[in-house]
Structure 1
Amino acid sequence: MTTIEKVETFLVPPRWLFVRVQTSDGLVGWGEPVVEGRAETVRTAVEQLAEGLVGSDATRIEDTWQVMTKGTFYRGGPVLSSAVAGIDQALWDLAGKRLGVPVHTLLGGHVRDRIRVYAWVGGDDPAEVAEQVSARIESGLTAVKMNASGRMSRLATVRELDGVVERVARAREVLGDDRDIALDMHGRFTAANARRLLPALEPMRPFFVEEPVTPENSHLLRGVVESTSIPIATGERLYNRQDFLPVLQAGVAVVQPDLSHAGGISEVRRIASLAETFDVALAPHCPLGPISLAASLQVGFASPNHLIQEQSIGIHYNTGADVLDYVVDRSVFDFADGWIHRLTGPGLGIEVDEDAVREADRSPHGWRSPVWRHPDGSFAEW
């Protein structure tokens, strides 16, 4: 029996947490368990889970997932789900490496040869948006996503709403009709604001509009969906199949589980299958590091309803480090033509630069989400 021998975690810039799982036969698997802004908390959760992992059979991925998610009376939530996600990624990485095949082969084999990717651009100033979109086009990308707004009033002013429309219009002008623009509302809008704004955006034909309301207000999504012809996406702050069922029933067009939050490869694969029964596309959330991106791609290559993949290579908030800084062969993530071609290496398909990871962990980050406030001093959604 191949057993888990050691579990280590590494806090690495700009805001990530990696986990390294070593087995009794000397193999090493990597995962990325993190809640942005709560990385140290997730690290503690991984360490607690590791108490029950060391000495267990490394090949029993599903049984391990069941025990990690259900082995205590209190379950769920972003911290535990993210800790589980990273360990699950590492176990799948190990399984692929042991058999000498990529994870997507273990999931039933690839259904596509390449995956379309998109990148984030700004969203605060029309000129800035146009400039950043142009830069992404020059890098070879054919799709981008931008913030709809910064801080948004509970009932938006005409200027706030028109400003969103103007910025999206500028992006569409640069992109033309053959490229796509997605819009992230980031949960900053009330349902009322979303219903007011979405019809005005329809002439720009957004690819999708993401998280028009906060996840705790998912019961309001049906009204938002029915107010517009624009495809509605959500899911980066949902953590299991049960969370996704109500939003699928509400009529969303795209689900966006995060491979580092929603239980890892095991659970996201099941979420993808659930979404398929609603004729809904999969577009995993991934503004994170190379391990999370590789895990997302592995699921994407094996999922018939996969649409597009988010990635954060070169994004402005990767201060102090970038996705490519932690992989030995950077070419696996090349997207010069707007696509990442199928990863063929064993496991997750990447080789983590362990020396770089260990060196980065010597100066662990303490990244925190910003806190925004309305003009009256009350809390505002970031």
Structure 2
Amino acid sequence: MRRDTTPEQEVDRMVAAVAEHGFRAVKIKIGERNGRDAESRTGRTRRLVPLLRKELGDEIELSADANGAYSPGQAVRIGRLLEEYDYLHFEEPVPFWEYENAAGVAATLDIPVGLGEQEFSVDALRRIIQSGIDVIQPDVCYVGGITRARQVAELANLAGLPCVPHSSGRSLTAIFTAHLVTAMPACNLFHEWTIEDASSMHIYDPFPTAHNGEVHLSDAPGWGIQIPHPTLQQMNRRVSTS
């Protein structure tokens, strides 16, 4: 999930992660974040997409996240490349605020197109679901908590769409999101799980790790985790008066 690597380096990282953790799906970063097609001149994506399929074979599901890298036309061209190599999911092909362009790309391509991680309004996510997007991707914290995230997952379920919440780290958001996807029928695709260094996020226990492609949640009360008292004492406290 990096852009500062060569295609060969990124594929080596993904192959190693699959071998170590038993992942059955991986996702790569393509394009340049909100980059107006700038990365397409370097050729990184066009080398990375087929190389990953070649090295991981047909048994591993592959997805790609563009973070709004492309114009609609270039998004369609890259989407066709992803389709050629049987990728599962094309995330945020155009800037996230361009709902109509995203819907147009989704209507043109066969690969499912996802959107929604940046939104903080349930109504905005409802409109995205209704626009013709194939996968809805709320972030539990950005959208305002577990109750509102559940509302989005329920809307997705009613629309017959998969819900793949955004969860790019292993902070407490990863725990909240894992409980959400375990509970909601629409959350039926592969779930995000970072392979980057998460040591700075280790403020709670038990700290989850992936084994054989799965993460097991504690059945302890509440979220099933504890934040050690010394850690809490070191944290800044802010009180909202609004």
Under a length normalisation based on structure 1, what TM-score does the superposition of the two structures give?
0.57
- Identify the residue that residue 176 of structure 1 maps to in structure 2: 57
2:31 to 115, 124, 149: 149
1:217 matched to 2:65: no
Question: More strand by proportion, 1 or 2?
Answer: 1
Give the structure with higher Rg (CA): 1
| C-alpha separation in 1, matches of 2:200 and 2:227 | 13
Q: 1:159, CA displacement in angstroms?
A: 4.1
Q: Supply the RMSD in Å over aligned alpha carbons.
A: 2.2
- 5+ residue gaps, structure 2: 237-242
Percent identity for Structure 1 against Structure 2: 24
Q: Judge conservation of contact 1:154–1:193 (CA < 8 Å) in 2.
A: no
Match of 2:224 in 1: 349
Q: Which one-letter code corresponds to 1:246 in the other structure? A: R
> Partners of 1:222 and 1:151 in 2: how far apart?
19
* Corresponding residue number in structure 1 for 2:154: 273
Aligned counterparts of 2:40 and 2:92: Cα–Cα separation in 1: 21
Cα distance in 2 for residues equivalent to 1:136 and 1:351: 28
Distance 1:357 1:122, change over 3 A: farther
Structure 1 pair 129–187 and aligned structure 2 pair: CA distance change class (3 A): same
Q: Larger relative contact order (C-alpha < 8 A, sep ≥ 6)?
A: 1
Q: How far, CA to CA, are the matches of 2:154 and 2:139 in structure 1? A: 15
Secondary structure of 1:277's aligned partner: helix
Match of 1:35 in 2: none
Does residue 246 (structure 1) correspond to residue 127 (structure 2)? The answer is yes
Structure-2 separation of matches of 1:280 and 1:298? 19
Structure 1 315/155 Cα, relative in aligned 2: closer, same or farther at 3 Å?
closer
Q: Does 1:259 align with 2:140?
A: yes
Aligned length: 234
Partner of 1:304 in structure 2?
Answer: 185
Structure 2 CA distance for aligned equivalents of residues 310 and 153 of structure 1: 23
Deviation at 1:154, TM superposition (A): 3.2
Q: Which residue of 2 aligns with 1:294?
A: 175
Instruction: Establish whether residue 138 from structure 1 lines up as the match of residue 19 from structure 2.
Output: yes
| Structure 1: stretches of 5+ with no match in the other structure | 1-119, 363-382
User: 1:281, 1:251 → 2: CA distance?
Assistant: 13
Q: CA deviation at 1:326?
A: 1.2
Alignment match, 1:328 = 205
Structure-2-length-normalised TM-score: 0.87
